[in-house]
Amino acid sequence: MPYTLITGASNGIGREFAREFARRKSDMVLVARSESSLRNLSAELSPAGEPVIHLCIEDLSDPESPRRVHQYCRDRSLGVELIINCAGFGYAGEYDSMPLEALQEMIQVNTAAMAVLIRLFLPAMIAEKKGGIINVASIGGFQGISRLGLYSATKSFILTLSESLHEELKNKGIKVVAVSPGYIETGFHARARQHPECSILPLSSPSVVVKASIKGLIKNRLHVYPTMTDFMVVFFQRFLPRSAVLKTAAFLAPLKHKGER
Ligand SMILES: NC(=O)c1ccc[n+]([C@@H]2O[C@H](COP(=O)([O-])OP(=O)(O)OC[C@H]3O[C@@H](n4cnc5c(N)ncnc54)[C@H](OP(=O)(O)O)[C@@H]3O)[C@@H](O)[C@H]2O)c1
């Protein structure tokens, strides 16, 4: 039976993906650090053992973790047909005061882990001439954002890699989607130390992202924008000078955080 592998499944958008794929009776491998959250989710989604849910407890900031995830699936002969790269986090604040540990962790979790995971699972998908990859990017990846610099750079990485792979794999039966949400109500903002209520952009629910992503996957759309606002934010950039785009991005980012300089 083909499996759906979801990273960042313990919370927010990844957890909503898991709920949706459970409704669709898809067997799954769920990846995150929080074992208790994944166990609770598994009990909620599969009380009688259907669909089959495997929990792979991994810290994706460890450069070896993608290999362990792949090995976990190989050892159990779990054929992964769809990868959803959702694990990620942000950090709001001046670059010069960003803790170096957070910087390295973000590069590893948001970019390197997903790039290596795709590389490891892709040969089997190509051999089967069938597969899908959903990469959770962000509207923040379409331009640099002052005080969210590294985060927006990691999301640009995801967008660029997704574009390349979409083109490279479209004749091999593999679909590649990059979904770019705006502000979604999850644990993301607390961890990033930002306040979405301070932005004029609306907050949406994780289910909006999941529904749009699945629709995009079925149609093999490279870029998916969960809401009309997300689409418009990216679309209107084409008509503005880059300096205006950067100013607007900084204005729209919810960076007014309490007790910060
Ligand atoms: N919320 C938004 O407004 C928004 C907008 C655009 C894009 N996104 C993107 O959406 C994705 C999901 O974020 P979310 O909003 O759902 O945030 P969230 O509620 O904070 O969930 C983040 C998920 O990533 C996992 N994760 C974080 N660090 C990890 C690590 N070192 N190893 C393994 N898993 C790790 C977390 O699991 P554990 O803590 O259990 O490890 C959790 O399941 C991220 O890539 C984010 O950049 C979010």
The yes-or-no verdict on residue 258 having pLDDT over 60 is no
User: Distance (Å, rounded) from C-alpha 133 to C-alpha 6?
Assistant: 10
- The yes-or-no verdict on residue 2 having pLDDT over 50 is yes
Q: Which pLDDT value is given to residue 102?
A: 97
pLDDT tier for residue 199 given thresholds of 50, 70 and 90:
confident
Give 47-74 pLDDT, tens digit per residue: 999 999 999 999 999 999 999 999 999 9
Q: Which domains, from first to last, does the chain contain? A: 2-252 (3.40.50.720)
**For 87-124, how does the pLDDT look when each residue is reduced to its tens digit (9 = 90+)?**
999 999 999 999 999 999 999 999 999 999 999 999 99
- Residues 9-49: pLDDT tens digits? 999 999 999 999 999 999 999 999 999 999 999 999 999 99
Q: Decide whether any atom of ligand 1 lies within 6 Å of the 188 Cβ.
A: yes
The verdict on the CB of residue 253 being under 6 Å from ligand 1 is no
Nearest to 107 by CA among 92, 120, 90: 90
Is the shortest distance between the CB of 201 and ligand 1 below 6 Å? no
Quick one: which atom of ligand 1 is closest to the CA of 7?
A: 34
Q: Which pLDDT value is given to residue 24?
A: 97
Write down the pLDDT at residue 112. Answer: 98
DSSP 102-122: HHHHHIIIIIIHHHHHHHHHH
Gap between the Cα atoms of 116 and 106, Å rounded: 15
Question: What's the burial of 261, exposed, middle or buried (CB within 10 Å: 0-12/13-18/19+)?
Answer: exposed
> What mean pLDDT, rounded, does the chain reach?
95
Ligand 1 center to 235 CA (angstroms)? 25
Q: What is the per-residue pLDDT for 256?
A: 64
Assess whether the C-beta atom of 85 lies below 6 angstroms from ligand 1. Answer: no
SS3 142: coil
What pLDDT digit, counting tens, does each position of 132-141 carry? 999 999 999 9
pTM for this model (two decimals): 0.97
- Which pLDDT does position 254 carry in this prediction? 76
- Tens of pLDDT, residue by residue over 144-168, are 999 999 999 999 999 999 999 999 9
Contact yes or no for 150/107 (Cβ under 8 A): yes
241 Cα: distance to centroid of ligand 1 (angstroms): 32
